[in-house]
Amino acid sequence: MMINASPWQRYMIEIRHFVGAEKQLLSLLPDSDEGSLELAEISRDLMGIYERTGRSERAVASAQVEFGIFESHGLGQDNGTANAYSDMVSSTLPMTSAR
């Protein structure tokens, strides 16, 4: 039961859920057409998981896939394209310390 769980236990439960979700999403990749909007959606979901679990290189790679798909579909003015571009660029910027 998560209500009485320690912070460490809650963290481990959360990570277990992320790993399960990642496995499910990765299992969808072979059935997705390259360059499809479905693949863009899977890439966005994977990016969120990678970002949340501290795997920024994979998050950037997923954002690049998503952005490339949106761009190839001519969705330059689409909100999803803007989000993908923002995720891709902000993930590659150096971290600065708060002052």
Q: What is the mean pLDDT of each run of 10 residues along the chain (99 residues)?
A: 78 91 95 92 92 86 90 78 78 51
Alpha-carbon separation of residue 90 from 22, 51, 67, 73, 98 (angstroms): 22, 12, 13, 23, 16
Q: What is the pLDDT of residue 93?
A: 52
Q: Widest CA span of the chain, in angstroms?
A: 50
φ/ψ of residue 3, rounded to 5 = -60, -40
Q: What is the pLDDT of residue 31?
A: 92
Q: What is the pLDDT of residue 99?
A: 43
Q: What is the pLDDT of residue 84?
A: 80
> How far is the C-alpha of 85 from the C-alpha of 83, rounded, in Å?
5
Domain boundaries, the chain: 23-90
> How far is the C-alpha of 10 from the C-alpha of 34, rounded, in Å?
37
Q: What is the pLDDT of residue 16?
A: 93
